[in-house]
Amino acid sequence: MELKIYDAKGAQHTLEMNENAMRDMRAEDGLNAVPLDKFFENQIVKATGDITAVPDGKGHPTVLNQIAAQMGVSPRSTLKEVMNGGVHAATTGGDASITGRLLVSAMLLPVIENQMREDRSGYAAMLRQHAALNINLPGTRWDRPILDFKRPENSRPQPVAELAEPVRMLTVKSSQKSSALLGEAIGIEFSDQALQNSTIDFISLSMRRQAEESANEVAMAHILSLLNGDVDVGMPTLASVVRGGAAVASTLDSAAGSGKLTQTAWVKWLWRNNLRRTITTVVTDFDGALAIENRLGRPTVQSDDAKSKRIDVLTNVVNPNWPNQVDIIITQDPNWPANTIVGFDKAYGYSMVSSAALNYSAMEALAMRRSVKLRIDSASAVDRFMNDAWDILDIS
C-alpha cells in the first residue's frame, strides 16, 4: 500500500507499507516493531537528513493524522473498517489491511500513554514525582555503579599537609550492580463480531482504564519493595539498612503506641538523623495517615486563646531541621504492614527506571479463532539511592 506523506517543509514523500517495510520496522530497535507513525517519521528524516522535517501538527498534520486521513479513518471508525484498510481500501492499492492493523496500534498507543502522563492523582505519577532520579533505559539491562560510603561513615575530615592528598571520603567502585528489568503487559482480545461494532475511541477508553489500573498496581508493588526490598535489583530490606534500626513511637514518647501517635513522638522522629536527611515524604496505609492527622498533642488554633494576657517569651529555633510540610502517600496495598510509617528525603530517596525497549505494542491476528489481540508492554523498577535518606516509625 502506498501512502503520500507531506513533511514539515511541504515536500511529498511516497512511502510503501508492505512485508519488507514490516521487517524494517522490527529491525529499527532490534527487538520489537516501532509504531507505524514513528517508523514513517524516521523514513522522512532519513530521506531529508533533517529532523525538523517531521510534521508536528502545526504547519502540516502529523504523520499519524495523514495516514488516517488517506485511509478514511477517524476515532469513530470501527475496528473492522480500520483493519480492513479503511473506507478507501479499494482505491489505495496493495494490501491495506496490513497498514490498517498497524494503524490501530499507532492510534491507540498515544491515547493511552497521554492519559497516563496526564494522570496526576495515580500512584504511578506520584512515584515518578517523588523519585530522586528518573532514568529511561534503551534496553532491559540496568547497571549501577556502587557508591562506597564506609570511609565517611567512620572518619572525619582531617588536616592536610602542604601538597598532600586529602583523606579519601567517597569511593565509586568500578564494579556494578546489574539486573534485568522484568516487563508487565496488558492486553485486550476481541472477536470478529466485536470488530464490527467496536470503535477506536471505545477501545481506547477501555484500554486506557485498564492501563490506569495496571499502572497503579505496579506502582504500589514498587512502593512496597522500597520497604521489603527486591532481590531482583539487589535491594535489601529497609529495616536492615536504616541507621539505628526502626524507631519505635512508644520509645520516643511513652504516651504513643498501640496504633496512636503523639506530637512529641512525631517531631522527635522527624528530627532523628536530621544531619543526614530531612524527611519530606512519608508512606503509610490509611490507618497510619489517620494516626498522623489525629496525633495527640498536635498544636491547633482552637486551643489557643488569642485574648489571653499571658506572661510569655517567644522562641525562635535557628536550626529547624525538620520540614515545614510532609507529603503523605497512602498506599492501598493489602500487604503493607500495619502501624508502619516510612519516611524519606525525596532529594536522595530512590531511583525509578523504565525501559524504552519494552514500551511497545503488538497485534496478533488469529484466523482460526476469529479474534484479534492487542497488547502493550512496559517495564519499570525502583531502587533506593541513599539508605540514609530513609527511616521507619513503628507506632504499634
For residue 174, what pLDDT is reported? 47
User: Is 243 or 291 the better-scoring residue by pLDDT?
Assistant: 291
For residue 15, what pLDDT is reported? 75
The H or E element containing residue 24 is helix 19-27
For residue 254, what pLDDT is reported? 94
Average pLDDT over residues 285-308: 84
For residue 92, what pLDDT is reported? 47
For residue 334, what pLDDT is reported? 94
Using one digit for the tens of pLDDT, what is the confidence trace for 336-353?
Answer: 999 999 999 999 999 998
User: Is 263 or 378 the better-scoring residue by pLDDT?
Assistant: 263
Using one digit for the tens of pLDDT, what is the confidence trace for 177-213?
Answer: 667 777 777 777 777 777 777 777 777 777 777 777 8
User: Is 288 or 159 the better-scoring residue by pLDDT?
Assistant: 288
Q: Is the pLDDT of residue 365 over 70?
A: no
Instruction: Give the pLDDT band (50/70/90) at residue 264.
Output: very high
The half-sphere exposure of 178 on its side-chain side, counting CA atoms within 13 A, is 5
Could you tell me what percent of the chain has a pLDDT over 90? Answer: 26
Mean residue pLDDT across the chain: 78
Distance CA 379, CA 140 (A): 8
Distance CA 17, CA 36 (A): 9
Q: Is the pLDDT of residue 221 over 90?
A: yes
Distance CA 20, CA 317 (A): 71
For residue 169, what pLDDT is reported? 54
pTM (two decimals): 0.71
Task: Name the burial class of residue 174, with classes exposed (0-12), middle (13-18) and buried (19+) by CB atoms within 10 angstroms of its CB.
Answer: exposed
Strand ranges for 125-284 from DSSP E: 133-137, 141-148, 171-180, 183-191, 247-248, 281-284
Distance CA 214, CA 116 (A): 11
